[in-house]
Chain A
Amino acid sequence: MKVTFPHLGHAYIAIEALLQGLGHEPITPPLTTKRTLEWGSRLSPEETCLPFKTILGNMLEGIELGADTVYMIGGWGPCRLGYYAEIQRIILADLGKQVEFITLEVPRGGPSQAWQRLRKIVGSTDVKSLVQGAVLSWTKLKIIDELENLSLWVRPRERERGSTSRLLEGQLQRIREAQSIRAMAKVRDRAELALQDLIDPKLTSDILRVGLVGEIYVAAEPFVNLRLEERLGYLGVEVVRTIHLPQWVEDHIFKNALGLYKQASLKRSAAGYLEGFVGGHGLESVARSVDLARQELDGIIHILPLACMPEVIAQGILPKVSADKGIPIMSLVVDEHGGEIGFQTRLEAFVDLLQRRASLCAANRSI
């Protein structure tokens, strides 16, 4: 099977390894670009959310490269992700694309149902290569997350603008090629040192720290969020992620499949603001913002696609969190019709606000 799948940041590197372990040939679509969005938008319902359109575009570009199978994740609860896969399957069928469409849903029926589902995808692959692929894939996902987090710390401190992103991309491609855990560990160790070497030793000013919460897809896909993390880095801001893909996989796939994911800590954090699951990452956005406020960050950015219901709920609650906890929070909406200039203006103004606030706090402390 030649399998294509949607993009989510650098997750494709881990997905490729997993598919290879399953005995499939991965057909990675080109990185999401304007072409992807335009192609996807043309064939999508106008009112649907932005992720639907770029994801459909990824599928089309993957099929263009010869894929005969599409993998897509499903979902449940009051978020439109639940119907993405089904509608995308129908759109592709209407276009006459001869592809098999496989929806990977997180099973909610406990371990036995999980095993049944798994067997369907696995087919006749032998257990050894399956396990090997899964372990490689998981390790890659974790290393990508580690290196990306480190570069969030390095970028606002770099000597030469853009050097962090360039180095990171090069090293992640070596992770992509690596075929053993040992080889990956080597790349990671060297990449960590190399990244730290990019720091400007003469840097003396304090670096602002801003937490990032919001809908997972727009937070993790740089084309869709207009490279938010890089933009902030270049404005001298260290971004603190609250959404980590390995964590997400652990919670939403492993634990969920075994019936162990209870969201207890999220509900504890969000208590008083939002008392339960509202679909998507709505509860996460509120809970993580409360957590971040405790960590003495300078501010929080909340990112969401236009008309995303769970995040709109969070957006309505966050001003109260901001007022109670005394931390500035800005919600940013992304949409295919949005302009980059307005986006950048908001980021710059927010960073100015944080800087002014931080310097006043410092002045107050010294009195």
Chain B
Amino acid sequence: MRREPVYLGIDVGSVSTNLVLLSPSRPWQDAVLWKKYLRTQGAPLKALQLGLSCIAEEGSWEILGVGTTGSGRELAGAMLQADVVKNEITAHATAALAEDPGVSTIVEIGGQDSKLIVLRDGVVVDFAMNTVCAAGTGSFLDQQANRLNIPIEDFGPLAVQSSNPVRIAGRCTVFAESDMIHKQQLGHEMGDILAGLCAAMVRNYLTNVAKGKQIIPKVFFQGGVAANVGMQRSFMETLGLPVHVPKHYDVMGAIGAAQLAKETLESQGKPTAFCGLELLQSEFSTVSYLCQRCPNQCEIVEIWRDGSFLASWGSRCGRGGCKQDQAT
């Protein structure tokens, strides 16, 4: 059987680890040949290995290149010897632009953070990330759905049925939660409370993350939270603009990473550095410690493969790394 040539994109986030295989030759709407959305559950190495074993089991591919993104991009990049290790803002923008070069605003809400990316004429011109608080991110929605005993999949559909959303204090997750409980005690309907929560989160996003930035169409809404139709409706109503949710909204970061790997390798004309899916057989481990060589006391993280040193980061002086080396 002929193996299909693909680029692998990986987004290791705080809540989910996403993998996609992107075809370099097919038209864009069919280019995502395979995707996987896994929960990271605090163990990125495990999630990655699980994801890779799924690739090996679920098809026959020839991997031409690898790109990583997300907060675990360094770790994933070192483990796989990725060709491109990119921040998630650039990755999300790349994927959205590949889907529609006319996109002007990207609203991205993930598990622990939310971003706004402003584009003009196909170029990122400004961006913002949430700073002090995770209010208005996926984890909070998850937590509230859990508390109300609603599967997260039903959250959105219930919220859109509401014709009379209640007002919820959305500045802080703790206050939002106590306000929601209060509204429940008063006897408001579940759908109205959920719709009110969506509206509060959108308000919070627009006043904190999107503060002072110009939001003009075409607006893309991506990240795990984009699945929530209640959030979609709230954004459309508040902005007064149509909001487009791309087909693969939940793995746009990973798609962007794959696309960046493709662009980079094609422009350099180089083969991939990826060490191959055989690395599934390997044993990976990480060590972290405070370097004692100087008063900076950097928190150094090392990744080891089958008992041999692979990579390290966290050192400020650039020396750091490798416990063995440090002993000498």
Q: Which residues of B contact A333 (CB under 8 A)?
A: 131
The answer to whether B319 and A353 touch across the interface, beta carbons within 8 angstroms, is no
Pick the contact of A349: B89, B295, B316 (CB < 8 A): B89
Q: Which of A341-367 contact B (CB under 8 A)?
A: 341-342, 344-346, 348-350, 352-353, 356-357, 360
- Which of B122-130, B230-238, B278-286 forms part of the interface with chain A? B122-130
Q: Which residues of B contact A166 (CB under 8 A)?
A: 317-319
Q: Is B296 an interface residue (CB 8 A)?
A: yes
Q: Which residues of A contact B40 (CB under 8 A)?
A: none
C-beta contact mask, B306-325 vs A, less than 8 Å → 1, else 0? Answer: 00000000001111000000
The answer to whether A356 and B295 touch across the interface, beta carbons within 8 angstroms, is no
Q: Is A269 an interface residue (CB 8 A)?
A: no
Given A348-B87, A352-B124: A342 touches B129 (CB 8 Å cut-off):
yes
Most buried by B among A338, A348, A349, A350: A349
- Which of A29-37, A204-212, A256-264 forms part of the interface with chain B? A29-37
The answer to whether A349 and B87 touch across the interface, beta carbons within 8 angstroms, is yes
Q: Is B88 an interface residue (CB 8 A)?
A: yes
In chain A, what residue has the closest Cβ to B88? A345
The answer to whether B318 and A328 touch across the interface, beta carbons within 8 angstroms, is no
Q: Is A162 an interface residue (CB 8 A)?
A: yes
Q: Which residues of A contact B89 (CB under 8 A)?
A: 345-346, 348-349, 352
Q: Which residues of B contact A350 (CB under 8 A)?
A: 127
Q: Which residues of B contact A33 (CB under 8 A)?
A: 295-297
Given A33-B297, A349-B87: A356 touches B319 (CB 8 Å cut-off):
no
Pick the contact of B316: A230, A306, A346, A348 (CB < 8 A): A230
Q: Is B212 an interface residue (CB 8 A)?
A: yes
Q: Is A246 an interface residue (CB 8 A)?
A: no
The answer to whether A30 and B124 touch across the interface, beta carbons within 8 angstroms, is no
In chain A, what residue has the closest Cβ to B316? A227
The answer to whether B316 and A30 touch across the interface, beta carbons within 8 angstroms, is no
Q: Give A42 Cβ to nearest chain B Cβ, in Å.
A: 17
Q: Give B173 Cβ to nearest chain A Cβ, in Å.
A: 16
The answer to whether B296 and A162 touch across the interface, beta carbons within 8 angstroms, is no
Q: Is B71 an interface residue (CB 8 A)?
A: yes
C-beta contact mask, B265-301 vs A, less than 8 Å → 1, else 0? Answer: 0000000000000000000000000000011110000
Q: Give A225 Cβ to nearest chain B Cβ, in Å.
A: 12
Q: Is B90 an interface residue (CB 8 A)?
A: yes
Q: Which of A219-261 contact B (CB under 8 A)?
A: 223, 227, 230
Q: Which residues of A contact B295 (CB under 8 A)?
A: 30-31, 33, 35
Q: Is A319 an interface residue (CB 8 A)?
A: yes
The answer to whether B124 and A353 touch across the interface, beta carbons within 8 angstroms, is yes
The answer to whether B123 and A345 touch across the interface, beta carbons within 8 angstroms, is no
Q: Is A268 an interface residue (CB 8 A)?
A: no
The answer to whether B71 and A341 touch across the interface, beta carbons within 8 angstroms, is yes
Q: Which residues of A contact B124 (CB under 8 A)?
A: 349, 352-353, 356
Given A166-B317, A319-B212, A341-B71: A353 touches B125 (CB 8 Å cut-off):
yes
Complex Cα spacing A348 to B91, Å: 11
The answer to whether B123 and A161 touch across the interface, beta carbons within 8 angstroms, is no
Q: Which residues of B contact A230 (CB under 8 A)?
A: 316
The answer to whether A348 and B129 touch across the interface, beta carbons within 8 angstroms, is no
Given A161-B318, A162-B319, A227-B316: A353 touches B297 (CB 8 Å cut-off):
no
C-beta contact mask, B79-92 vs A, less than 8 Å → 1, else 0? Answer: 00000001111100
Name 23 A/B residue pairs within 8 A (Cβ), A-sorted: A31-B294, A31-B296, A33-B296, A34-B297, A161-B318, A162-B318, A162-B319, A166-B318, A328-B125, A337-B132, A338-B131, A344-B87, A345-B71, A345-B87, A345-B88, A345-B129, A346-B89, A348-B86, A349-B90, A350-B127, A352-B86, A352-B90, A353-B127
In the A-B complex, the 3 residue pairs with the smallest Cβ-Cβ separation, listed nearest first, are: A162-B318, A349-B89, A348-B87
B residues near A (Cβ < 8 Å) are: 71, 86-90, 113, 123-127, 129, 131-132, 212, 294-297, 316-319
A residues near B (Cβ < 8 Å) are: 30-31, 33-35, 161-162, 165-166, 223, 227, 230, 306, 319, 328, 333, 335, 337-338, 341-342, 344-346, 348-350, 352-353, 356-357, 360
